[in-house]
Structure 1
Amino acid sequence: MDRSHKPSALTPSTTGPQPSVHSEQGRVIASLPTGDSVEVLLYGATVTSWKHNGRENLWVSEAAKLDGSKPVRGGVPVVFPCFGPPPKDHATGGLPQHGFARNSTWEYLGKSSSESGKLASGGDDGVKLDFGLSSAQLSEEAKKAWPYDFALVYSVTLGKDGLQTMLNVQNKGDKSFEFQMLLHTYFRVDSITKVTINGLGSTTYIDKVLNATEHQQSNPSLQITGETDRVYKSIKQDTTSILQDGKPRLDVIRDNLEDTVVWNPWIEKAKGMGDFEPNDGYKNMVCVEVGAVNGWQKLESGDTFEGGMIVKSHL
Structure 2
Amino acid sequence: MDRPNKPSAISPSGTGPQPSVHSERGRVVASLPTGDSVEILLYGATVISWKANGRENLWVSEAAKLDGNKPVRGGVPIVFPCFGPPPKDHATGSLSQHGFARNSTWEYLGKSTSESEGKLASGGDDSIKLDFGLSSSQLTEDNKKAWGYDFALVYSVTLKRDGLQTMLSVRNQGEKAFEFQMLLHTYFRIDDISKVAINGLGSTTYVDKVLDATTHTQSSPSLTITGEIDRVYSGIKQDTTSITQDGKPRLDVTRDGISDSVVWNPWIQKAKGMGDFEPKDGYKNMVCVEVGAVDGWQKLEAGETFEGGMIVKSHA
Report the TM-score, using the length of structure 1 for normalisation: 0.95
Q: Deviations over 1:213-255 (max 9, x none)?
A: 0000000000010000000000000000000000000000000
SS in 2 for 1:58: coil
Distance 1:135 1:12 in 2: 35
Identity %: 82
Structure 1 residue 260 corresponds to structure 2 residue 257: no
Q: Deviations over 1:79-137 (max 9, x none)?
A: 0000000000000000000000000000000000023x5xx323710000000000000
Q: Deviations over 1:1-33 (max 9, x none)?
A: xxxxxxxxx997332110000011100000000
Structure 1 residue 28 corresponds to structure 2 residue 40: no
Distance 1:75 1:221 in 2: 24
Letter matched to residue 121 of structure 1: G
SS in 2 for 1:277: coil
CA contact (8 A) 1:178 1:299 kept: yes
Distance 1:12 1:157 in 2: 17
Q: Which residue of the partner structure matches residue 198 of structure 1?
A: 199
Q: Which residue of the partner structure matches residue 118 of structure 2?
A: 121
Q: Deviations over 1:259-306 (max 9, x none)?
A: 000000000000000000000000000000000000000000000000
Structure 1 residue 59 corresponds to structure 2 residue 20: no
Q: Which residue of the partner structure matches residue 16 of structure 2?
A: 16
Report matched runs for 1:28-177 at 5 Å. 28-115=28-115, 117=116, 120-122=117-119, 124-177=125-178
Moved over 3 A (4+): none
Greater alpha carbon shift after TM alignment, 85-94 vs 123-132? 123-132
Structure 1 residue 236 corresponds to structure 2 residue 233: no
SS in 2 for 1:124: coil
Report the TM-score, using the length of structure 2 for normalisation: 0.94
SS in 2 for 1:50: strand
Letter matched to residue 91 of structure 1: A
Letter matched to residue 248 of structure 1: P
Distance 2:38 2:80 in 1: 22
Q: Which runs of 5+ in 2 are unaligned?
A: 1-9
Distance 1:169 1:121 in 2: 29
Q: CA RMSD in A?
A: 1.2
Between Structure 1 and Structure 2, how many residues are aligned?
Answer: 303
Q: Which runs of 5+ in 1 are unaligned?
A: 1-9
Q: Deviations over 1:161-218 (max 9, x none)?
A: 3000000000000010000000000000000000000000000000000010000000
Q: Which residue of the partner structure matches residue 293 of structure 1?
A: 294
Letter matched to residue 140 of structure 1: E
